[in-house]
Structure formats: C-alpha cells, structure tokens
Chain A
C-alpha cells in the first residue's frame, strides 16, 4: 500500500514551500537582493536606500507608528528647525479627535506613503491636493481674500506649506513688504564665518613634501605630494597619516580613507552629507546585509551612490562615479571653488545646471573667484544648494559650516528664501522667482513671469484690521 496521493501532494508542497519561505525570510531579515520585495517604485527621496528595508521597516511587526518613528528618526530635527506648523502634538490633543478621524495627521505615513507611485505627488505626498479642506473649511469666512479660491491651491508657490512656513507667515510678509528686488547689500553675510583660503588654519611651519610621513610603500607620486603640500591640510599640519590611518591600534595604513576619516574633523559637513541624496547611503546604521546565522550572511554597508542610479539627467561619462567626499573635493587638492560649481556640472546634466553657466549668478561667482569682488558676493551652485548654516552654541558663541545636505532647502523651494535669496533680494522678487518653473529651468536668467500675491493680501488685511480697530468694530 503506497502513500495516498493527497498526502504526497501535501508533502511535496511543504518540501517546496518551507525552504522558499525560509530563504525569503532570511533575505528580509539579513539582506541580499531584496529588489523583488519592493512592492512599488520608491519616491525620489528614498530610492537610494530602498534596499536597506530596515531603514524604515525597523520592526517586522510594526504598523504605522513604527514607520512614523522611522520618518522622525531621519526628518525630526529638520521639522523642529522649521517650526513645523502641524506638529504631531497638535493632533494628539483629544479636542481634535474628530479631525483625526478624517485625516490622521499624527502619523507621517497618512500623507506620505512609500511605494505608491501612481498617487505620489511632489514631495512624496500621497493625498489629493485639497487635503487642507479637511480642517480649514471656514477659511473663506475668516479671510475674505481667500473667497473663491480652490482648496487645491493652498500649497501653491508662495502661499502655504504644511510644515515649513518660516518665509510665508503673515507678519514676515508684512515686515518685508516693499523691499526692492535687489537689496543694497548683496552678499552672504555668513560667509565671514567660513575660513577663506587666505585665512586658513596654519601651523607655524606648514608641512612640505619632505615632511610627508607616509610609509615608503605608499609614498605616492610627486604630483600627489605637490597637491597636498599646496593645500590647506598641509598648511594646517595635517600629515599623510592624519587621514590615512584610523583610530585602531596598531596603526594601520588606509589606502583610500572613507567618509569617517573626514568626519573626524569635518563632523557637520559629513553629517549633513549623509542626510542628503548624495550621501544618504553612507548614513550610520544603514546596512545592505546584516550578520546572519552559520556565517551565511556577513554585515555590509550600502555601496556609495552613483550618478547612473540617479533619477535626474546625468552625464554619461560620469555615470559610474562613486559619491563620497572625494567626488567633489578630489583626493589631495581640496579646491572649494571647484567644488562649489564645476564639480556639480561634472555629473548633473539638466537644463537648470547647464543654464547656470550663462546666468548672472555665475558672472558674480567668477568675479569673486577671481578676487574682483568681495567674499560672499558670488553665487555658485553651493551658495543656494549647500548654504552656509549658522551654529549657535549654548554659551552664545557663533560659528558656521556649509551644509552638505543639498536637499535641505530644496522642497518646497520657499525654504530657500530665508537661507539664500534674502541675502541679496527682496521677498517679493524671491517669491515670484521661485514660483516660475521656467525661470528656474533657465537658472534665473531673466525675470519671473509669475506674480505671487501673498504680500499684497497680507498688507491689505493689515490695513483692514487697523481700520476696523480704529472704528471700534469687532475684528
């Protein structure tokens, strides 16, 4: 008597399913080629790290709250710095329970779902454009200027943002009303905090080629030594072993120092680099694979981003460049003038980048680079996309660094107003320019064809309130 056919089929099913299930589970937990697990195209903000699933899915059993915590883990500081207009605490108050029932704004993933390409709009928003309607239906009765406006227009350029309204709140608009397009002083004032080439840290006796302390087997060629000797590092007394050896004992030569070496001295720059699209794969804790049982999996970090994997147009011959500190700063000649514009154009091949080299901003940058104009008056790619950021210590002392998170003030683009545009331009001029997609593509070569009315509306409301108050009428 043989084994019944049904039992045979069950055994066969089990024999196939269990190993396959275990393999899938191992890939989920420990890593490997996880691309088959992607349930939909990821957003442009996260595709770089899409195979490090546990960057967001920090628990196998987590729900919305777990995902929310992962969002806050990376984006929380940025939201706090932006004086988030809609913080979670606003919605955990029971008095807003009816609003939360309609739109659960306590969790990031209510508005920002990943892997949903068909419904994903700008800035990874996956709710319809009119989401403001859910809580602000009464706005037309409170603000006559808003009567007849569609709820799909709330987040129009120059009007409102859900999180960051630092350059759009009413008092700010009123305070900066009537500013000229070109301010009297046009320079990035914080540039004074950054060390210039002439003002670099210097030791009493700068190092020269003869002082290089690399072991003979790694002495390098004369060109490398010459580059290093002419650079700020040698001037500041940083010898070869300063970067080419780690903290481990015994001292071991590192042929190609990675980002952590740079971070030993340039902590803010490295931290912000790993927060942006160029370097987010290098963020601490992000792993391609984790150590697994029986030595089947070994821990490995994500490979550095390459232009080939970018979603913006990139130059073909730069496709396989690997993005680390040395991509823009080169290995031994840390030429920041090159890094601020030419380096970007080495990879980026979109209309905005190409148009830069025919723009008034570039003309100013060339003048500054040639020493014909004061420091901070030139406008490079980095001036806008990696602006100088002020740090204020608890003792009141001030310092600054160039943020290396190129995405920090990019979307929505009004975030750029205060950190960048306001150094040189009036608020109206800046809002109009940032609202004109064609002008942006032309890299601000010309004038905006869009006029944002926010400042006029704020001014009108200010006048109306003053008049009513003068007449003793209720507001």
Chain B
C-alpha cells in the first residue's frame, strides 16, 4: 500500500513538474507564448511611429519651409532641383531602408488616387482596405492575405492630409487624379504587412 502511494506520489510529482516546465520557461526565460504581443498591436505600434514621423516632417519641415517661410521647395526631383524630398518620398525611403534590413515586416504608402500609378492598390486586400479606411473615418482595417505562397497579417491605416502642403501639392500635381482634396481628408493609406508563416 505504502509503495503504491509512493509510486503515485512520484508519478504525480513528475507530471506536475513536466506541466510546470513551459510556465517556468516562460516566466524565467521570457518564453514566446506568455509574452507575445498580438500582431495587431505590433502593426498599431509600428504605425504610430510612422504616422508621427510623417506628420512631423510634413508639418514642421515641408509645410513650414515651403508654404509658410517660402525658403525652399519640396520636389519629386529634389536632387536636381536642390529641394526637399516630398513627404511621401521620405516615407518610401524609410520603407526601402527597412526592407534592406529586415523581412519581419514591410510597409508601403498607397492610394486610390495615386500621383504615381505604381502606388495604386494591387492586391484585393489593398483595394478593400483602402476603400474601408476612406469610408470609415478613424477606423483601421485588418485582414489576412496570401501573397507568393506566404501568409501575411495586413493592416491598413488611413493617411490623412495633415497640412496645407499635402492638399496644395496633390491638388496641383498634373498627374493627380483628384483635385478636390481638403485638409483632414483621407488621401490614401499606410499598408503594413507581417508574415505569419
């Protein structure tokens, strides 16, 4: 009897220890499962940084120097014209730098009314997401898509005209398909993708 109790006790201890290992691993060694940040939070956080930098450059650099103080212009061909890069170019240069350093996420700036047609939506989710954020003020769009055999969590955030520079440039550009943008209008969207497999 006593030996059976010992055996049961040993078995219970062993099982309990085995069951506790993942929890302990997570607690002591920062295991993935217990502390993983939901992918949607990740894209929200990434976007918060992107949107802040984009707004600061647009308002405090381009709008101030080009529109208010009129000391320098911003131009697509900034090298040849000794001008500032456009806010959209600054954003894309950042995206290209990120693409050179990691494949853990990617992002792009797209629009239903792009000045450059290469920046029109291409995938079904891009089309759906850009339409959604344009029609639902203040809301983001999230979904999953498969591209090139890989699954992605895709988030789309509205890109809003934050300064008069955005409006005047897009309304006045000869290649812009829209000429009636107003301040605070949704002009496009930031698409962030995180591979999930």
Contacts and interface: CB of A to CB of B under 8 A. Distances in A.
Given A101-B148, A171-B76, A95 B174 contact: no
Contacts of B136: none
Given A92-B99, A94-B152, A475 B79 contact: no
Contacts of B104: none
Nearest to A469: B174
- The interface residues of chain B, by DSSP majority, are classed as mixed
A93 interface: yes
A462 interface: yes
Given A89-B96, A92-B99, A474 B177 contact: yes
Contacts, number: 58
B103 A475 contact: no
Given A87-B96, A101-B148, A93 B106 contact: yes
A88 B101 CA distance: 12
Contacts of A357: none
A315 B56 CA distance: 63
A14 B169 CA distance: 75
Interface string A147-178: 00000000000000000000001011000000
A213 interface: no
Q: How big is the B interface, by class?
A: 20 to 34
Interface residues of A, number: 25
Nearest to A100: B148
Contacts of B149: 97
Interface in A378-429: none
Contacts of A466: 174
A142 B148 CA distance: 27
A465 interface: yes
Nearest to B123: A95
B150 interface: yes
Contacts of B191: 95
B25 interface: no
14 contacts: A89-B100, A92-B103, A92-B106, A93-B99, A94-B152, A94-B193, A94-B195, A95-B122, A95-B123, A98-B147, A98-B148, A172-B80, A474-B178, A475-B177
Interface of B: 76-77, 79-80, 95-96, 99-100, 103, 106, 108, 117, 122-123, 126, 147-150, 152, 174-179, 191, 193, 195
